[in-house]
Amino acid sequence: MGVGDISIRSSERPEAGSVNIQLGEFPTSSENNSVDAHKVANEVVSGFSDALSKQDHSAIAELFFNDNSYWRDHLALTWNLRTVKGNAAIKEYLDSSKVRLEKIEVDKSTNYRAPKFGAIDILGDVQGINFFVTFETSIGRGEGVMNLAEHNGQWKIFTLYTLLQELKGHEEPLGHRRTKGVKHGGDPARKTWKEKRDAEKEEIDPIVLILGAGQGGLTVAARLKMLGIPALMIDQNERVGDNWRKRYRQLVLHDPVWYDHLPYVPFPAHWPVFTPKDKLAEFFEAYVTLLELNVWTSTSLKSTSWDESKKQWTVTVERRMPDGTSQTRTLHPRHIVQATGHSGEKNFPKIKGMETFKGERLCHSSEHPGASPESKGKKAVVVGCCNSGHDIAQDFFEKGYDITIVQRSTTCVVSSEAITDIGNKGLYDQDSPPVDDADLTFWSLPSELLKTQQTKVTKIQADHDKKIHDGLRAAGFQIDSGPMDSGLLIKYFQRGGGYYIDVGASQLIIDGKIKVKQGQEIAQILPNGIEFADGEKIEADEIVFATGYQNMRTQARKIFGDEVADRVSDVWGFNDEGEFRTMWQKSGHPGLWFMGGNLALSRYYSRILALQIKAIEEGIM
């Protein structure tokens, strides 16, 4: 990601131009644990419904707590991602909406969804009444979450979250809506499934062209498939999954399986907690097969141009065919989804002396093939102290290298156990609710409140990780606890990087098995090593820059040129409402969308992005 304003210290620095949002404030906890949660929920929602039927927006706003209340709305009332705070702003938001909210109901379909007195901060410090809602607007249907807080014996809405899930008349073909798969009876014009599928794969002139077939591309392609929008992914790699396959040898996902499910085809029950990269790559290939997604691999983009009047792109791509020939194809998509990774192009600094390096290898982490086996006595330096940097340093150690990791600023370090057992507990774990329910709960918390909640989580995690943290400090490794002490997740959301989920390298640092060079910029690369600003020189046979990836907007500039990129807004990090900027929503340039994030973000936001495209294509938006 972009470096941001380096005058701000690393822990607080957000993505360039974005907001280091304030900490939200939870109301006081209710002690009225004998309350009839169902009854209160019914009353509040029925008051909501009454006001809706009269289109009395003031009355609806009055149901909210006070100025410290939130309505987070993902596409239900407008085509923007919004978090609106306080009665007045909520009324104004309702007034401005062109979509009519027609119905809202308490969801009692499962115990998890039904009203209960309990945590309204996920964590359990603040008690109130929590439940899911279902709603219907003039154009669609969705679900959401309502949290009620008590004030002087009165129950008010503290947070409401609404997520549009389907457009009326364009529901996904699931369950009762699945296709029949065959037309019974004699049909002289019959085409078999294979004939249709083969034709679709080769002859498609897609409405949506998706650049990249990683988790971002795959999930949005899957969502579009379910909405009946012809879409095609193109990817420079030879096989789907190569974006993971080609990464460093021993990479295993740092998030657990329960957090990582993709839409429609969940990981089966035997799937390991942490997915090795090559296994994930194979899953991706199976995902394409099972969902009949269209992808051209070994394909690169040759040119793009946007026709403002036709609202259409002209795109030329070159496909290397299995027989070695090349095929140039011109497509006319109405939308391009850039899914080249929210971390797109590698961030590979230009440093004086690089060209003089005489060692075995100097490369970016994305090109690192893995440490060579049996390399006792060889020297390696890894620049960068986030996940990749640590994993690669650990790989070097395991192969017998003398290994130094270069840390220029600070790193937010949380152990994998603390993430799995504390951070994801109850939401994304073996006994957690269905992942779609967990997502609704997770995204129901406005980012300000999430940040506050994460400061508490971060403290509990830090207690758990105290020995590691103390050891790291003693070893000269600098750690931080994220922006305003809100930890790893918010650092990821606000900045896109700057953390390490510890899967073992921290102990190697503590034990001196991985040495640390801290706080110094690199002055120059020497033929046999690195010289730092403080004059110290470290020898190296191999140097790996685990310095992350560039902003998607930088990537867009390379792909589409200045004319397009100049119209695009800044990408990633929060706006002042705590909503992500530009990703998964109108980008500033018509027909251009940004898709990306880890598997969980891709799962959630892929639908949001696909619904917007569907709405445009159906003339609803």
The CB-of-106 to a second copy minimum distance in angstroms stands at 22
* Nearest CB to a second copy, comparing residues 175 and 619: 175
Choosing from 31, 33, 152, 180, the residue that interacts with a second copy (CB under 8 A) is 180
The region that residue 180 occupies, defined by phi over 0 for left and psi between -120 and 50 for alpha, beta otherwise, is alpha
Choice from 44, 149, 226, 592 touching a second copy (CB under 8 A): 226
Provide the minimum distance between the beta carbon of 481 and a second copy in the complex, in angstroms, as a whole number.
22
Q: 116, 271, 363, 586: which one contacts a second copy (CB under 8 A)?
A: 271
Pick the closer one to a second copy by CB: 290 or 533.
290
Any contact of residue 522 with a second copy (CB under 8 A)?
Answer: no
| Stretch of residues binding a second copy (CB under 8 A), selected from 12-20, 179-187, 338-346, 549-557 | 179-187
Least distance from C-beta 502 to a second copy, angstroms? 8
Name the 3-class secondary structure at 211.
strand
Calculate the alpha carbon distances from 214 to 81, 203, 282, 283, 544 in Å. Answer: 24, 22, 12, 11, 24
Contact between 283 and a second copy per CB under 8 A: yes
Closer of 141 and 513 to a second copy (Cβ)? 513
For residues 127 and 118, the answer to whether their CB atoms sit within 8 Å is yes
Binding segment (CB under 8 A) for a second copy, from list 120-128, 230-238, 486-494, 503-511: 503-511
Q: Does the protein bind a second copy through residue 96 (CB under 8 A)?
A: no
Q: Is 276 in the site for a second copy (CB under 8 A)?
A: yes
Which tokens sit at 414? Answer: 């949380």
Region class of 255: left (phi > 0), else alpha (psi between -120 and 50), else beta: beta
How many Å apart are CA 372 and CA 374, to the nearest integer?
Answer: 7
Shortest CB 268 distance to a second copy, Å: 5
Gap between the Cα atoms of 559 and 211, Å rounded: 10
Q: Is residue 291 involved in binding a second copy (CB under 8 A)?
A: yes
392 interacts with a second copy by CB under 8 A: no
- Is 98 or 180 the residue whose CB approaches a second copy more closely? 180
Q: Does 166 bind a second copy (CB under 8 A)?
A: no
Closest listed residue to residue 487, CA positions, set 465, 516, 503? 465
182 forms part of the interface with a second copy (CB under 8 A): yes
Answer yes or no whether residue 268 interacts with a second copy by CB under 8 A. yes
Give the C-alpha distances (Å, rounded to integers) separating 494 from 484, 579, 592: 12, 10, 23
| Residue span binding a second copy (CB under 8 A) among the ranges 94-102, 138-146, 287-295, 523-531 | 287-295
Contact range with a second copy by CB under 8 A, out of 134-142, 438-446, 498-506, 592-600: 498-506
282 binds a second copy, rule: CB under 8 A: yes
Tokens 């993902």 belong to 74
Residue with tokens 């017998």: 400
CB atoms near residue 594 (< 10 Å): 29
What order of strands is seen across the sheet that includes strand 299-307?
299-307, 312-320, 326-331
Task: Quickly list DSSP for 356-417.
Answer: G--SSEEEEGGG---PPSS-TT-EEEEE--SHHHHHHHHHHHHTT-EEEEEESS-EEEEEHH
**Which listed residue (246, 274, 300, 433) binds a second copy by CB under 8 A?**
274
Q: Is 112 in the site for a second copy (CB under 8 A)?
A: no
Q: Are 499 and 386 contacting, i.e. CB atoms less than 8 angstroms apart? A: yes
> In this structure, are residues 427 and 1 in contact, taking their beta carbons and an 8 Å threshold?
no
Site map 425..454 versus a second copy, x via CB under 8 A: -----x------------------------
Pick one of 179, 309, 325, 328: the residue that binds a second copy (CB under 8 A): 179
Whose CA is closest to 24, among 437, 443, 458, 484? Answer: 484
- Only one of the segments 8-16, 263-271, 379-387, 584-592 lies at the binding site for a second copy (rule: CB under 8 A); that segment is 263-271
Considering only 22, 193, 228, 463, the residue that binds a second copy (CB under 8 A) is 193
The closest of 401, 409, 407, 395 to 540, measured between CA atoms, is 401
Instruction: Name residues whose C-beta falls within 8 Å of residue 323's C-beta, 6 or more positions apart in sequence.
Output: none
Question: Going by C-beta distance under 8 Å and a sequence separation of 6 or more, which residues neighbour residue 101?
Answer: 52, 76, 77, 94, 135, 136, 137
Quick one: which of 475, 503, 526, 621 contacts a second copy (CB under 8 A)?
A: 503
Residues making contact with a second copy (CB under 8 A): 172-176, 178-182, 184-188, 190, 192-194, 197, 226, 249-250, 252, 257, 264-265, 268-276, 278-279, 282-283, 285-286, 289-291, 394, 397-400, 416, 430, 503-505, 507-508, 513
